[in-house]
Amino acid sequence: MGYYNEGYPPNPHRRKKRKYYWVLSMLVGLGIGVFLAVQVIPSFAGTQNEKTESFNKVNMEQNGQGEIPGEIINTSVNVDVSTQITEIVNKVTPAVVGVSNLMESADYWHQSEVSEVATGSGVIYKVKDGNAYVVTNHHVIEGADEVEVILYNETSIPAEIIGSDIFTDLAVLRMDASNVEKVIDIGSSGNVKVGEPAIAIGNPLGHMFSSTVTQGVISGKERTIPQDFDQDGRADWQAEVIQTDAAINPGNSGGALINISGQLIGINSMKINQEAVEGIAFSIPIDFALPVMNELENTGEVVRPYLGVEIYSLDEVPQAEWKDTLKLPKDVEGGVYVWTVEPLSPADRAGLKQLDVITALDDKPTMSMIDLRKILYQEKKIGEKVKVTYYRNGKRKETTFELGAQ
CA distance 84 to 397: 62
CA distance 43 to 393: 100
Query: Is 228 among the catalytic positions?
Result: no
Which of 164, 189, 253, 283 does the annotation list as catalytic? 253
The H or E element spanning position 134 is: strand 131-136
Query: Is 211 among the catalytic positions?
Result: no
Read off φ and ψ for residue 390, nearest 5 degrees. -150, 165
- How many Cα atoms are found within 13 Å in the side-chain-facing hemisphere of 85? 15
* 3-state SS class at 83: helix
Query: Is 169 among the catalytic positions?
Result: yes
Pair 176, 157: CB distance under 8 Å: yes
Read off φ and ψ for residue 286, nearest 5 degrees. -65, -30
Alpha carbon 383 to its chain's center: 35
Pair 99, 122: CB distance under 8 Å: yes
User: Residue 195 contacts by C-beta under 8 Å, 6 or more apart in sequence?
Assistant: 217, 218
Percent helix / strand / coil, the chain, rounded to 5: 30, 35, 35
Residue type at position 1: M
Burial of 235 (0-12, 13-18, 19+ CB in 10 A): middle
Pair 305, 377: CB distance under 8 Å: yes
Pair 126, 132: CB distance under 8 Å: yes
Mode of pairing for the β-strands spanning 256-258 and 364-365: unpaired
CA distance 287 to 265: 8
Read off φ and ψ for residue 393, nearest 5 degrees. 55, 40
Which of 100, 139, 211, 368 does the annotation list as catalytic? 139
User: Residue 163 contacts by C-beta under 8 Å, 6 or more apart in sequence?
Assistant: 171, 172, 296, 297, 299, 300, 301, 302
Pair 198, 217: CB distance under 8 Å: yes
DSSP state of 4: S
CA distances to 139, 171, 225 from 229, rounded to whole Å, are: 10, 16, 12
Catalytic positions: 139, 169, 253
